[in-house]
Chain A
Amino acid sequence: DAEITQSPRHKITETGRQVTLACHQTWNHNNMFWYRQDLGHGLRLIHYSYGVQDTNKGEVSDGYSVSRSNTEDLPLTLESAASSQTSVYFCASSAEEIVTGELFFGEGSRLTVL
């Protein structure tokens, strides 16, 4: 079965360190997204991509970067982790031809920045 996986599922790091969260999907979807989820807030879009070599900033992109070198992967990098980036991060994908907004989410990566 096609799926979307994230790693690591849990990570603790220190302020100032670089962190990369991996996202891999086997749906062959062109559209991929990174969200963060914090208590009291809706999902907030960090970065998104509509295909290989395409990346776009979302609502809360400061301090984050992504790259899209193939269809399957969209890694999220925190260049210099800050305590404000402690959160649960979700990767998601959707099929290009569907403008219905149905997203398929990974299981999430819980990041703690000390």
Chain B
Amino acid sequence: GQNIDQPTEMTATEGAIVQINCTYQTSGFNGLFWYQQHAGEAPTFLSYNVLDGLEEKGRFSSFLSRSKGYSYLLLKELQMKDSASYLCAVMDSNYQLIWGAGTKLIIKP
């Protein structure tokens, strides 16, 4: 079966750095995506990785290793507004998105 694993919850301090991991086992691979979802709101797109390596976008970076079935989302200079759930999703061989259950990130002052 297809599976996406990510930690249920993480806590970090304002101004610090946090890394949210995602491991996957899917039927084929056509890209990995990270979305942010604030409580009670819609998910919004953060990043897309299809090749191995690091993609940087401002305070957020996303890393992919296809051989290890592994990705992480790195958030730097944490702000209170970064408190949200972070969803990892993989596009399989049928171009369907398989979603992880999400990681709830709590930022403390």
A residues near B (Cβ < 8 Å) are: 40-45, 58, 90, 99-108
Contact = CB atoms under 8 A, between A and B. Distances in A.
A42 B89 contact: yes
Interface residues of B, number: 22
In the A-B complex, the 7 residue pairs with the closest CB atoms: A42-B99, A105-B42, A43-B99, A102-B45, A101-B91, A42-B101, A101-B33
Q: A interface, by DSSP: helix, strand, loop or mixed? A: loop
Interface of B: 4, 30-31, 33, 40-45, 48, 87, 89, 91, 95-102
Given A99-B95, A101-B89, A42 B100 contact: yes
B43 A41 contact: no
Given A42-B89, A45-B97, A105-B42, 12 more contacts: A42-B100, A43-B89, A43-B99, A45-B96, A99-B30, A99-B31, A101-B97, A102-B33, A107-B41, A107-B42, A108-B40, A108-B41
A103 B33 CA distance: 10
Contacts, number: 50
B25 to A, nearest CB: 14
A51 to B, nearest CB: 15
